[in-house]
Every structure is written in C-alpha cells, then in structure tokens.
Amino acid sequence: MKTTDTKAVRNPRDFQTRVKKLALIGCGKMGEALLSGILGSQLIPVENVEVTVAEPPQADFLAGKYGVRASTNNIQAVRGADLVLIVLKPQQVKGVLHEIKKALGKDAVIISAAASVTTGLIERELGRPVRVVRAMPNTPCLIRQGMTALAAGTHATPDDVSLAREIFSAMGRTVVVEEKHMDAITGLSASGPAYVYLIIESLAEGGVKLGLPRELSTELSAQTLLGASSLVLHTGEHPAKLKDMVTTPAGCTIDGLMELEEGGLRVTLIKAVVRAAQRAKQLVENQNS
C-alpha cells in the first residue's frame, strides 16, 4: 500500500489537457464536498465542470453557489466528458449507468465514490471494457483534510489511477489499495468522521460536566483530537507509544484510561468499524455478484 506524495500532483494545466470536461453525477453531501475541493484546488476551471442531481431546485442551488452548470440531465452531463465522477447512493448507480451508457464517450474514465459498488459491477452494467477507478473519500475532503482510498478496475491504466490521485490528493491524503479492502475502508475512514464527532462531543460533555463552557469545551476536545492525530501521522509512532508519553505513573491519565477500558471503548470502536464494513458489503450485494 502506498501513500501519496502530494508533490507528485501535476500542474493544473497538464490536468486540464487531459480533462476538458468533468461530469459529477449525484452532487449530494459527498458530491458537494468533492466539487468544493476540486474547484478550490483549481485543478479544473468551473466552466469545464457539469454536475447533476435528482431535483431541479437543488441543481439551481448548486449552480448559484458554485457557478457550475448543474441540471438533472445525466445524459447531457456525461456527453463529451473525459472524466465522470459518480457520487450517487449505491442503490442509484445501476439505473443511472443504464441511462448514461450510450452517451458515455469510449475513452471516458469513470471514478466511482459509491460505497459497496464494485468496479466489476460498473464494467458489467456498461457492457464494455470501461476504465473505472473506485474511490472511497470522506467528508473532510471539504477542507482538504480528506482521506481517500483508490482501487483500479480491470481496465483502468496506471495513468487513470494517477489522475484519480491528483484529484483526491488535492483534497487530502490518498492511498492506492486492492479493491478487496474497500468495504473495510468504508467502515473505517469513510464512516470514521461520524465516530470521531461522537468522541469529540462526548469529551466536550465531560468538560461541561466539570463546569467548562460548552464552546470552550468543544474547542479543547476537537483540537486535542486534531493534535493527537497529527502527532501519529507526523511521527509515524505506534499510538500506544504516544499514549505512554501522556500517562505518568500514578498520574491522572491512567485513571481516565482505566475508565475507558472498563467502558469497553476499544472493543466498541473495533465493532463499529466491523459492523459498518459489513453493512457496506451488503448495500448492493445482490447486484455485485
């Protein structure tokens, strides 16, 4: 497994030579985070991006907010697109693939961020050796602190994977993995921000219980997670070693840790990742096989 060197990102001008039109199909919560990240990274000019949603008012909203062409017309959006980013709900993907099948250019590259949907399903539904890269991003892509895993489909070239890495590394870290790991990654880093918000909220409530103002408590809590996470990534140390640095013998931290162990925090988090990954596998299980 390799992590991205963001310095490897090509000049936006090179990217634009390769991608003259990008279609983003399904511009909902995740799609908007990606749209915002892509436009913010200036990889591609706004006039070269077309997005779609299900409801016309939402299309109007996105057009007004970002200045992109936005509609409910998937066929029009993919026509002439070199790159098609699919950010639909898993259950919506198959129907939309049928809809766009004929309009999709023969050299178009598809990047799908839909959980559970395999590259095999997309290749099969389109009925030809289409180049597909599967991506599993997370919402911090919105502020370029995302974590995205990428996996190549059968016909995707190394250059297609590089293209996907360029897009997502402009929004945070990327890793290239074997596709068999994608459900586990969905349960960990794609669902993970939700678990972390619960932890931030709970730590902040601890502060509130002790009389700290809520706003201050939330800031202390969130920055503590950010700082501790950054230290793991920056030093490359095992988290247990960094934990030991905080835990003075007979000090306060060991008492806090004992409470967490008694409450089963570790096993609860492990089970959360496993359950979410199992669910990710089930979402379109009958369509994948």
Ligand X SMILES: NC(=O)c1ccc[n+]([C@@H]2O[C@H](COP(=O)([O-])OP(=O)(O)OC[C@H]3O[C@@H](n4cnc5c(N)ncnc54)[C@H](OP(=O)(O)O)[C@@H]3O)[C@@H](O)[C@H]2O)c1
C-alpha span between 218 and 206 (Å, rounded): 10
Stretch that binds ligand X, among 19-27, 167-175, 177-185, 219-227 (CB under 6 A): 19-27
The reply to whether 29 sits near ligand X by the rule CB under 6 A is yes
Nearer to ligand X, 18 or 89 (CB): 89
The reply to whether 27 sits near ligand X by the rule CB under 6 A is yes
Residue 180 contacts residue 167 (beta carbons within 8 Å):
no
The reply to whether 114 sits near ligand X by the rule CB under 6 A is yes
Beta-bridge partners for 25: 52, 86
Instruction: Identify residues 131-160 at the interface with ligand X (CB under 6 A).
Output: 136-139
- Residue facing ligand X at closest CB distance: 28
Stretch that binds ligand X, among 24-32, 120-128, 250-258, 265-273 (CB under 6 A): 24-32
C-alpha 48 chain-centroid distance: 22
- Token pair 């995302």 is found at 146
C-alpha span between 11 and 166 (Å, rounded): 10
Determine the size of the site formed for ligand X (CB under 6 A): 27
Q: DSSP for 218-278?
A: HHHHHHHHHHHHHHHHHH---HHHHHHHH--TTSSHHHHHHHHHHTTHHHHHHHHHHHHHH
Nearer to ligand X, 37 or 90 (CB): 90
Instruction: Identify residues 188-217 at the interface with ligand X (CB under 6 A).
Output: 190
C-alpha span between 156 and 153 (Å, rounded): 5
The reply to whether 100 sits near ligand X by the rule CB under 6 A is no
- Helix axes of 239-246 and 214-235: crossing angle, nearest 10 degrees: 130
Binding mask 78-97 for ligand X (x = CB under 6 A): ---------xxxx-x---x-
Q: DSSP for 6-67?
A: GGGPPPHHHHHHH-S-EEEE--SHHHHHHHHHHHHHTSS-GGGEEEE-SSHHHHHHHHHHH-
Stretch that binds ligand X, among 16-24, 50-58, 125-133, 238-246 (CB under 6 A): 50-58
The reply to whether 108 sits near ligand X by the rule CB under 6 A is no
Stretch that binds ligand X, among 130-138, 165-173, 220-228, 269-277 (CB under 6 A): 130-138
Among 55, 107, 178, 259, interactor with ligand X by CB under 6 A? 55
Stretch that binds ligand X, among 11-19, 42-50, 111-119, 122-130 (CB under 6 A): 111-119
The reply to whether 74 sits near ligand X by the rule CB under 6 A is yes
Comparing CA positions, the residue from 103, 161, 106, 169 lying closest to residue 132 is 161
Nearer to ligand X, 5 or 60 (CB): 60
3-class SS at 86?
A: strand
Query: Could you tell me where the beta strands, DSSP code E, fall in 139-202?
Result: 146-152, 172-176
Quote the least distance from Cβ 62 to ligand X, whole Å. 9
Quote the least distance from Cβ 56 to ligand X, whole Å. 8
Residues lying near ligand X in the complex (CB under 6 A): 25-31, 52-55, 58, 74, 87-90, 92, 96, 113-115, 136-139, 190
